[in-house]
Amino acid sequence: MKTKSWTVDRKDDLSRSYPQISQAAALLKENELVAFPTETVYGLGANAQSDEAVAKIYQAKGRPSDNPLIVHVADKEQVKKIAAKIPPLAEKLMETFWPGPLTLVLPKQDGLSKLVTAGLETVAVRMPEDALALALIKESGLPIAAPSANLSGKPSPTLAEHVAHDLTGKIAGILDGGPTGVGVESTVVDCTGEVPVILRPGGITKEQLEEAVGTVEVDRALLKEGEAPKAPGMKYTHYAPKADLYIVKGSMEYLQSLVDQERAAGREAGVLTTEENRAAYDADAVLAAGWRSKPETIAAHLYEVLRQFDERDLDVIYSESFSEEGVGSAIMNRLMKAAGQRVLTENH
Ligand code: AMP
Ligand code: MG
Query: End of a domain among 222, 254, 282?
Result: 222
Backbone angles phi, psi at 268, to 5 degrees: -90, 125
> Of 63, 57, 190, which Cα lies nearest the Cα of 113?
57
Domain housing 274: 244-345
Per-residue pLDDT of 275-297, as tens digits, reads: 999 999 999 999 999 999 999 99
pLDDT computed for residue 198 by the predictor: 97
- Examine the domain organization and report whether 19 and 88 are in the same domain: yes
> Of 104, 99, 149, 129, which Cα lies nearest the Cα of 39?
129
State how far the Cα of 72 lies from the Cα of 82, in Å rounded to an integer: 10
How many domains, in total, are found in the chain?
Answer: 2
- Note whether residue 318 is domain-resident: yes
CB-CB contact of 36 with 159 (8 Å)? no
pLDDT computed for residue 229 by the predictor: 58
68 alpha carbon – ligand 1 mean position (Å): 5
DSSP character string of 259-308: HHHHHHTT--EEEEE-TTTGGG--SSEEEE-SBTTBHHHHHHHHHHHHHH
State how far the Cα of 20 lies from the Cα of 8, in Å rounded to an integer: 7
User: In the chain, which ranges are E strands?
Assistant: 4-7, 34-37, 42-47, 70-72, 102-107, 122-126, 144-145, 173-176, 187-190, 197-200, 217-218, 244-249, 269-273, 285-288, 316-320, 343-345
pLDDT band at 237 (very low <50, low <70, confident <90, very high): low
- Examine the domain organization and report whether 42 and 176 are in the same domain: yes
pLDDT computed for residue 234 by the predictor: 67
244 alpha carbon – ligand 1 mean position (Å): 26
pLDDT computed for residue 253 by the predictor: 98
Q: Which ligand is nearest to the CA of 154?
A: 2
Q: Which atom of ligand 1 is nearest to the CA of 116?
A: 16
User: Using a 6 Å cutoff on CB, does residue 147 contact ligand 1?
Assistant: yes
Sheet with 4-7: list strands edge to edge.
4-7, 173-176, 34-37, 42-47, 144-145, 70-72, 122-126, 102-107, 187-190, 197-200, 217-218
- Note whether residue 330 is domain-resident: yes
CATH code: domain of residue 55: 3.90.870.10
pLDDT computed for residue 224 by the predictor: 67
334 alpha carbon – ligand 1 mean position (Å): 15
Per-residue pLDDT of 64-85, as tens digits, reads: 999 999 999 999 999 999 999 9
Query: End of a domain among 159, 192, 222?
Result: 222
State how far the Cα of 202 lies from the Cα of 214, in Å rounded to an integer: 18
User: Using a 6 Å cutoff on CB, does residue 188 contact ligand 1?
Assistant: yes
Mean pLDDT of 95-109: 98
- Examine the domain organization and report whether 115 and 64 are in the same domain: yes
pLDDT computed for residue 100 by the predictor: 98
Share of the chain above pLDDT 90, in %: 90
In angstroms, what is the C-alpha Rg of the chain? 20
pLDDT band at 15 (very low <50, low <70, confident <90, very high): confident
- Note whether residue 114 is domain-resident: yes
User: Running DSSP on this structure, what letter comes out for residue 6?
Assistant: E
- Examine the domain organization and report whether 261 and 164 are in the same domain: no
Per-residue pLDDT of 294-305, as tens digits, reads: 999 999 999 999
Checking if the pLDDT of 118 tops 90, the result is yes
255 alpha carbon – ligand 2 mean position (Å): 29
pLDDT computed for residue 235 by the predictor: 65
16 alpha carbon – ligand 2 mean position (Å): 31
Query: End of a domain among 158, 191, 222?
Result: 222
- Examine the domain organization and report whether 90 and 157 are in the same domain: yes
- Examine the domain organization and report whether 169 and 305 are in the same domain: no
CATH code: domain of residue 281: 3.40.50.11030
Per-residue pLDDT of 184-222, as tens digits, reads: 999 999 999 999 999 999 999 999 999 999 999 999 887
102 alpha carbon – ligand 1 mean position (Å): 12
- Note whether residue 62 is domain-resident: yes
pLDDT computed for residue 251 by the predictor: 97
Residue count of the chain, please give it: 348
pLDDT computed for residue 222 by the predictor: 79
Report which of residues 272 and 221 the model is more confident about: 272
- Examine the domain organization and report whether 250 and 325 are in the same domain: yes
pLDDT computed for residue 213 by the predictor: 96
User: Using a 6 Å cutoff on CB, does residue 162 contact ligand 1?
Assistant: no
- Examine the domain organization and report whether 113 and 182 are in the same domain: yes
Backbone angles phi, psi at 328, to 5 degrees: -60, -30
User: Running DSSP on this structure, what letter comes out for residue 233?
Assistant: G
pTM given for the model: 0.94
Checking if the pLDDT of 123 tops 90, the result is yes
117 alpha carbon – ligand 1 mean position (Å): 8
Per-residue pLDDT of 303-346, as tens digits, reads: 999 999 999 999 999 999 999 999 999 999 999 999 999 999 99
- Examine the domain organization and report whether 34 and 165 are in the same domain: yes
- Examine the domain organization and report whether 274 and 136 are in the same domain: no
State how far the Cα of 216 lies from the Cα of 207, in Å rounded to an integer: 9
pLDDT computed for residue 10 by the predictor: 83
- Examine the domain organization and report whether 217 and 288 are in the same domain: no
| 182, containing H or E segment | none
Per-residue pLDDT of 212-234, as tens digits, reads: 999 999 998 877 655 555 676 66
Q: Which ligand is nearest to the CA of 70?
A: 1
Q: Which atom of ligand 1 is nearest to the CA of 124?
A: 16
User: Using a 6 Å cutoff on CB, does residue 200 contact ligand 1?
Assistant: yes
- Note whether residue 22 is domain-resident: yes
Backbone angles phi, psi at 239, to 5 degrees: 60, 10
- CA 168 to chain CA centroid, Å, is 19
User: Using a 6 Å cutoff on CB, does residue 70 contact ligand 1?
Assistant: yes
User: Using a 6 Å cutoff on CB, does residue 192 contact ligand 1?
Assistant: no
- Note whether residue 237 is domain-resident: no
Q: Which ligand is nearest to the CA of 147?
A: 1
- Note whether residue 232 is domain-resident: no
Name the residue of 154, 188, 235 to mutate for ligand 1: max ligand atoms within 8 A of Cβ: 188
State how far the Cα of 318 lies from the Cα of 288, in Å rounded to an integer: 12
Average model confidence (pLDDT) across the chain: 95
- Note whether residue 228 is domain-resident: no
Per-residue pLDDT of 20-38, as tens digits, reads: 999 999 999 999 999 999 9
- Examine the domain organization and report whether 196 and 255 are in the same domain: no
312 alpha carbon – ligand 1 mean position (Å): 32
Q: Which atom of ligand 1 is nearest to the CA of 147?
A: 2
Residue having the nearest C-alpha atom to atom 7 of ligand 1:
233
pLDDT computed for residue 258 by the predictor: 98
